[in-house]
Amino acid sequence: MSIKRVLTGITTTGTPHLGNYVGAIRPAIEASRQPGVESFYFLADYHALIKCDDPARIQRSTLEIAATWVAAGLDPERVTFYRQSDIPEIPELTWLLTCVTGKGLLNRAHAYKAAVDRNEAAGVDPDADVNAGLFMYPVLMGADILMFKAHQVPVGRDQIQHIEMARDMAQRFNHLYGEHLVLPEALIEESVATLPGLDGRKMSKSYDNTIPLFTPPEQMRKLIAGILTDSRAPGEPKEVEGSALFQIYQAFASAEETQALRQAYADGIAWGDAKQLLWERVTREVAPMRATYEDLIAHPERLEDILQAGAAKARKLSTALIADLRQAVGLRRLGSSASPARAAQAEKVSLPSFKQYRENDGRFYFKLQDGQGKLLLQSTGFEAPKAAGQAIAQLKQSPEATLNALQGQWAAADGVSTAQIIAALQSLAEAA
Ligand code: TRP
């Protein structure tokens, strides 16, 4: 059986809450116990610096997140659990990737674009208060992923674009320097709940509507009492649909328990009683983890040892890959030369290609395929073969502008991003 590598990072800016636990921590730990899976989990503290300049908060968050994962059952012996900033090869790979990443690709990254859009809406300079870390974020994330040759990256939907960009970087690097990097895929767990927060919106630190996982039980009770409900009185039947309280309960309860609460809603349970049930259920789930958590928080040096051992494991891989990549790009001892095998391998990577053809409707079409023959882009029908030919020539010459200019005359193949098409066209342009 081939081993599948799964990798994910957690940015160290906050305190883990119920939403993180249900949506990320619990499913990740379950997945790490499956046979045939090799898991990498890391504390993304370089990423934290992009949005947080409070050193104490970064350190505290790193401690709390590490303690949470271990308390929730992550087995550091079985998985590779490390802190990003303990792996100096990651910033080094970031630079190698920076040099094969189009600036235009980064201009289109959602996180950066959203900041620019906000500035434009506010009528200030588009780059006001935007640090270059935010701009480079997808490259750092690409390095995190590509460093350990991850096949799958479990992330939320908001991160899909970053995984696609990491694929583009890997493709581009491999195209230029030979097959060194593995193309990762985003893994979106449809079955995993996104938990609503106190106000019914997604539970998130940015909405300030969270319930911290290890908040003391009495504090947890107060927070749960504050969950938004409607104004139905005791005795009145209540809707489970759209009830944040119900959804949070469901994320912790068994099917039978959930069914019982559903019945209680129909029977008109008072909101206060329903909140009591939720508090009991959540505290019951958290209780066995709490002792370990508190113990680790009180003994940071134990976590530090765990992280150092994880870094040593991770660096066996990262130092080996970086040595290969330095050699591949030409950062070499003087007098040494590229191994012939490597040069031959680099040449073998085949280029994308255009195919032109005529359909039964009498019109002229073209499509773009990658080096392995996979369809990337399909045109609509052109009246004349010359028009199709010109479109191809322009696409080769200025990929992005032409894709925009030809809006409506082409479609990306299923699962192919515009960024991938642009990368393919760029590699054609360069080979010409
Ligand atoms: N950017 C991710 C987030 O905000 C965290 C992260 C950093 C990450 N590096 C990663 C996730 C690599 C997966 C893989 O959620």
**CATH number for the domain including 273?**
1.10.240.10
Handedness of CA 315, 317, 320, 326 (dihedral sign): negative
40 and 102 together in one domain = yes
Residue 63 in domain:
yes
381 and 409 together in one domain = yes
From the CA of 156, how far away is ligand 1's center (Å)?
Answer: 9
From the CA of 138, how far away is ligand 1's center (Å)?
Answer: 9
From the CA of 56, how far away is ligand 1's center (Å)?
Answer: 21
Domain boundary among 271, 289, 307: 289
95 and 28 together in one domain = yes
83 and 159 together in one domain = yes
Q: What is the pLDDT of residue 398?
A: 83
123 and 36 together in one domain = yes
**Is the CB of 47 inside a 6 Å radius of any atom of ligand 1?**
yes
Q: What is the largest CA-CA distance in the chain?
A: 85
Q: What is the pLDDT of residue 431?
A: 75
36 and 133 together in one domain = yes
What tokens does 165 get?
């960009």
Residue 132 in domain:
yes
Residue 200 in domain:
no
From the CA of 323, how far away is ligand 1's center (Å)?
Answer: 25
Rounded CA separation 412/51 (Å): 34
pLDDT in tens, 317-340: 999 999 999 999 999 999 877 655
Residue 402 in domain:
yes
Residue ranges in the chain modelled with pLDDT below 50? none
Whose C-alpha lies nearest to ligand 1, atom 6? Answer: 9
Residue 245 in domain:
yes
Instruction: Compute, in degrees rounded to 10, the torsion defined by CA atoms 204, 210, 211, 212.
Output: 60
Which ligand 1 atom is at minimum distance from the Cα of 141?
9
**Is the CB of 14 inside a 6 Å radius of any atom of ligand 1?**
no
Residue 425 in domain:
yes
**Is the CB of 296 inside a 6 Å radius of any atom of ligand 1?**
no
Q: What is the pLDDT of residue 188?
A: 86
- Domain total in the chain: 3
Residue 107 in domain:
yes
From the CA of 51, how far away is ligand 1's center (Å)?
Answer: 13
DSSP string of 81-146?
EEEGGG-THHHHHHHHHHTTS-HHHHHT-HHHHHHHHHHHHTTS-TTTT--HHHHHHHHHHHHHHH
**Is the CB of 143 inside a 6 Å radius of any atom of ligand 1?**
no
**Is the CB of 168 inside a 6 Å radius of any atom of ligand 1?**
no
Q: What is the residue range of 131's domain? A: 4-192+299-343
371 and 415 together in one domain = yes
Q: What is the pLDDT of residue 346?
A: 53
Residue 415 in domain:
yes
Whose C-alpha lies nearest to ligand 1, atom 7? Answer: 9
From the CA of 10, how far away is ligand 1's center (Å)?
Answer: 6
**Is the CB of 147 inside a 6 Å radius of any atom of ligand 1?**
no
Q: What is the pLDDT of residue 342?
A: 54
**Is the CB of 426 inside a 6 Å radius of any atom of ligand 1?**
no
Rounded CA separation 143/42 (Å): 13
Handedness of CA 237, 240, 246, 250 (dihedral sign): positive
Whose C-alpha lies nearest to ligand 1, atom 14? Answer: 8
- Ligand 1 site-directed mutation target among 12, 20, 159, 163, most atoms within 8 Å of CB: 159
Whose C-alpha lies nearest to ligand 1, atom 13? Answer: 8
Rounded CA separation 135/307 (Å): 29
Torsion region of 384: left, alpha or beta (phi above 0 gives left; psi -120 to 50 gives alpha)? beta
**Is the CB of 210 inside a 6 Å radius of any atom of ligand 1?**
no
**Is the CB of 428 inside a 6 Å radius of any atom of ligand 1?**
no
**Is the CB of 155 inside a 6 Å radius of any atom of ligand 1?**
yes
Backbone phi, psi, residue 376, to 5°: -110, -40
**Is the CB of 8 inside a 6 Å radius of any atom of ligand 1?**
yes
Q: Output the CA–CA distances (angstroms, integers) from residue 406 to 111, 380, 391, 398, 409, in the order listed.
A: 27, 10, 8, 12, 5
- Ligand 1 site-directed mutation target among 6, 12, 39, 47, most atoms within 8 Å of CB: 47
**Is the CB of 109 inside a 6 Å radius of any atom of ligand 1?**
no
Q: What is the pTM of this model?
A: 0.78
CATH number of the domain enclosing 408: 3.30.160.160
From the CA of 73, how far away is ligand 1's center (Å)?
Answer: 21
Q: Identify the DSSP state of 236.
A: S
Domain boundary among 245, 264, 289: 289
361 and 333 together in one domain = no
244 and 322 together in one domain = no
225 and 153 together in one domain = no
285 and 322 together in one domain = no
67 and 38 together in one domain = yes
CATH number of the domain enclosing 101: 3.40.50.620
